[in-house]
């Protein structure tokens, strides 16, 4: 199944040549969860803070479906 993914802020470094918020497609097996997508992208789990599926915050065990749109954000630091 194909998933549309957007990486934000510092997570862009895990997708060579990508800009923050620019969508790209990832092919995953049926029944894959958000955590499987994060693993596929080689993003360390501790570097993800918020994940959206179709505009709704979801947990890492959320099962993805064909055509889902996923946004992944890192923890945000401030001062």
CATH architecture entry for 2-73:
Roll (3.10)
pTM: 0.90
Q: How far apart are the first and last CA of the chain?
A: 41
Q: Is the pLDDT of residue 76 over 90?
A: no
2/45: higher pLDDT: 2
Interval 13-70: pLDDT, tens: 998 877 888 999 999 999 999 999 999 999 998 999 999 999 999 999 999 999 999 9
Residue 8 has pLDDT above 60, yes or no: yes
Q: Where are the beta strands (DSSP E) in the chain?
A: 2-7, 24-27, 50-53, 56-57, 69-73
Q: Are 70 and 4 in contact (CB under 8 A)?
A: yes
What are the structural domain ranges in the chain? Answer: 2-73
CA–CA separation, 73 and 71 (whole Å): 7
pLDDT, residue 77, reads: 58
């Amino acid at each position: 199944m194909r998933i549309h993914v957007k990486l934000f802020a510092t997570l862009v470094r895990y997708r060579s040549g990508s800009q923050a918020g620019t969508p790209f497609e990832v092919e995953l097996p049926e029944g894959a969860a958000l955590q499987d997508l994060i693993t596929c992208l080689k993003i360390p789990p501790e570097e993800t803070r918020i994940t959206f599926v179709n505009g709704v915050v979801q947990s890492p065990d959320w099962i993805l479906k064909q055509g889902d749109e996923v946004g992944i954000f890192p923890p945000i630091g401030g001062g």
